[in-house]
Amino acid sequence: MNAEKRKQIFERLKTANPNPTTELEYTSPFELLIAVILSAQATDVSVNKATRKLYLVANTPEKIAALGVDGLIPYVQTIGLYRNKAKNVIDTCRLLLDHHHGEVPRDRESLQALPGVGRKTANVVLNTAFGQPAMAVDTHIFRVSNRTGLAPGKNVDIVEHKLMKFVPPEYLMDAHHWLILHGRYTCLARSPQCWNCLIADLCEFKSKTRTPEKGI
């Protein structure tokens, strides 16, 4: 895909959604960090349901750490892998208190040193909480980047590198959100809604001309 096509893709995505953001609910960098840790292999909807209750009781490292794993589990047990996530959240809160004065660090190395925080999670926090250009390549972004031809790659690291290189600078801050939302609601894994896609004519997916099935 050439540079002009990429630019047009993001121009259209911006026009349709000028101010994209995460669908996770949060009011502070710390709340976002915890929500993203909980969101691994889980939906944002399920995480929001859990954190709405949790954050009413505890929404700081001190308060969540005070709950302990057993005290946190009742709030997150509806989320997949909740036991391991609860342990990671408690350990993360303690590390934030012990090494970062209770504040969420603003650098990738420190973020990725926290339990349950990988590169993708760190990128979400850096981009969404701190306004840094970063690309959190999840399954949606990986699929959209490969299917459209925007930034094809065999693994998430390659796709991230290509996106950071190929996305026009003026769109880089919000590109992560546009691509996730596009993959979540239009460029679906099993049945991409090419007939309802605002970038279909720019996409390199061979089956983009398919029509919706009867009854849809």
29-129 architecture in CATH? Orthogonal Bundle (1.10)
pLDDT of residue 211: 43
Is residue 102 a contact partner of residue 62, using CB atoms and an 8 Å limit? Answer: yes
Rounded mean pLDDT, 142-165 = 96
Q: DSSP character for 127?
A: I
When the pLDDT of each residue in the chain is averaged and rounded to a whole number, the result is 93
82-132 residue pLDDT tens: 999 999 999 999 999 999 999 999 999 999 999 999 999 999 999 999 999
Q: How far apart are CA 132 and CA 111, in angstroms?
A: 14
Q: What is the pLDDT of residues 170-211, one digit of tens each?
A: 999 999 999 999 999 999 999 999 999 999 999 999 754 444
| 3-class secondary-structure state, position 116 | coil
CA atoms within 13 A on the CB side of 21: 10
Helices (H), the chain: 3-16, 29-38, 44-57, 61-76, 82-99, 108-112, 119-124, 139-148, 156-166, 172-185
Residue intervals of the chain classified under CATH 1.10.1670.10 are: 3-20+135-196
- Residue 215 is predicted with a pLDDT of 36
Phi-psi bin for 171: left (phi > 0), alpha (psi -120 to 50), beta?
A: alpha
pLDDT in tens, 98-107: 999 999 999 9
Evaluate if residue 214 carries a pLDDT over 60.
Answer: no
Kindly state the average pLDDT of the residues 65-85: 96
Cα gap 211→194, rounded to integer Å: 8
CB atoms within 10 A of CB 49: 14
**124 and 29 in contact (C-beta within 8 Å)?**
no
What secondary structure letter does DSSP report for 169? G
CATH class of the domain whose range is 3-20+135-196: mainly alpha
Question: CB 177: neighbour CB atoms within 10 A?
Answer: 21
pTM confidence score: 0.89
pLDDT more than 70, % of the chain = 95
State the Cα–Cα distance between residues 39 and 85, nearest whole angstrom.
9
**pLDDT at residue 12 above 90?**
yes
For the cut 60, the answer to whether the pLDDT of residue 68 exceeds it is yes
SS3 168: coil
Query: What would the two tokens of residue 109 be?
Result: 């190395």
Just list the catalytic residues: 120, 138
Cβ(199)–Cβ(9) under 8 Å?
Answer: yes
Would you call 195 helix, strand, or coil by DSSP?
helix
